[in-house]
Amino acid sequence: MIVELPDTTTSHISKSLVKIREEGGAVALGRVLTLIIATSRDGEEEAIEAANDASREHPMRVIVLSTETDEADAGASRLDAEIRVGGDAGASEVIILRARGDAAEDEQSLVMGLLLPDAPVVVWWPGLAPEVPGDSPLGRIAQRRITDASTQPDPQAALDHLAASYRPGDADFAWTRLTLWRAQLAAVLDQPPYEPVTAVQVTGAIDSPSTTLLAAWLTMQLGAATVCTLTGLEQGSHGIHGVHLSRAPGTIELVRDVPGVATLRQPEQPIHDVALPRRSLRDCLADELRRLDPDELYGEVITRGLRLLADQRSHHHEGATE
């Protein structure tokens, strides 16, 4: 069911929710959190679809705060809303707030009256993120703050910005997309022979911040010399291409030449094909909603791991020019 509320107020939206609940039997009981999605009008439906899918694992109230991009309407102050429940909202209830003009200036006031009482708050910016997510109006009321470096104008520069602005509770989908890669590499290194890794090479597309984070994680975990190579955007080149781990018995290679499938080569072992699909928005969102405490490992990688990787690049560059 979809209920349209043109030119409305937060108070009217709250009363409409109560009325829908009383008349249709839709209840907020069992909702475990409030997810706020701050997005542009163009990105609404994709984000809502991902949230609806994730809600089957995490029943929640979804508040979508959408800003108008039409400069002609910039001076008009108006709040339009839409409430979706039942089959149109997965296992959640979706409240879409489309604000423009003066009504869009105080984001925190727009959502405060619609938060579930005594439930954690998660904020997700699918597109452009604020300068400092933790200090933004929405970020200050949230336990978790989710960004996506890959959607920023310069994804690689976005990582440096995330490192400088990091607060406990921050998360980024560039890190979440690494879950399968990290699990596979950890499983390989847990097998004998237990020789130390002496060198690491990670390759990926220039628009892939996940490649850089994977290299930073390996640098931090293995203490090995790491080379992170970013290539141009040829056909099918998006994302991580492969990882090469060098140690005494030989080189371990995990290379993804085919979308969704990687080839694992290890010394004196058969070649294996490993499923390594690119994770969807739904997968990443559901993954991040499983934990509402700070992701300490991400915090270490984004702050310390990136710095270690940058230091190695600097030393490598200095050695090459001597």
Q: What is the pLDDT of residues 137-196, one digit of tens each?
A: 999 999 999 999 999 999 999 999 999 999 999 999 999 999 999 999 999 999 888 899
Least Cα distance to 146 among 163, 126, 171, 115 occurs for: 171
State what percent of residues in the chain have pLDDT above 70.
Answer: 89
Residue 118 and residue 228 in one domain = no
Q: How confident is the model at residue 31 (pLDDT cuts 50, 70, 90)?
A: confident
- Is 236 within 8 Å of 259 (Cβ atoms)? yes
Give start and end residues of each alpha helix (H) in the chain: 10-24, 44-55, 107-112, 155-165, 173-176, 179-189, 209-222, 281-289, 296-300, 306-321
- pLDDT reading at 73 higher than 70: no
Residue 54 and residue 190 in one domain = no
Residue 129 and residue 239 in one domain = no
Q: How confident is the model at residue 320 (pLDDT cuts 50, 70, 90)?
A: very low
Residue 230 and residue 83 in one domain = no
Q: In what order do the strands lie in the sheet with 199-205?
A: 225-231, 199-205, 240-247, 250-258, 260-265, 272-276
Q: Give pLDDT, residue 89.
A: 66
- pLDDT reading at 319 higher than 70: no
Instruction: Choose one of 154, 172, 190: the last residue of a domain.
Output: 172
- pLDDT reading at 249 higher than 50: yes
Instruction: Choose one of 113, 137, 172: the last residue of a domain.
Output: 172
pTM of the model: 0.91
Q: Give pLDDT, residue 236.
A: 47
Residue 102 and residue 12 in one domain = yes
Instruction: Choose one of 145, 172, 199: the last residue of a domain.
Output: 172
Q: How confident is the model at residue 70 (pLDDT cuts 50, 70, 90)?
A: low
From 51-60, 283-292, 303-312, 313-322, the region with the lowest mean pLDDT? 313-322
Residue 156 and residue 255 in one domain = no
The whole-angstrom separation of Cα 87 and Cα 93 is: 10
Give residue 301's domain range.
173-322
Query: Looking at the 3D structure of the chain, how many domains does it have?
Result: 2
Residue 229 and residue 261 in one domain = yes
Residue 98 and residue 220 in one domain = no
- pLDDT reading at 242 higher than 50: yes
- Is 144 within 8 Å of 172 (Cβ atoms)? no
Mean per-residue pLDDT of the chain:
89
Residue 143 and residue 284 in one domain = no
Residue 146 and residue 179 in one domain = no
- pLDDT reading at 69 higher than 50: no
Residue 299 and residue 288 in one domain = yes
Least Cα distance to 149 among 6, 11, 4, 284 occurs for: 284
- pLDDT reading at 16 higher than 50: yes
Instruction: Average the pLDDT over 282-300 and give the result.
Output: 95
Dihedral-angle region of residue 260 (phi above 0 means left; psi in -120 to 50 means alpha; beta otherwise) = left
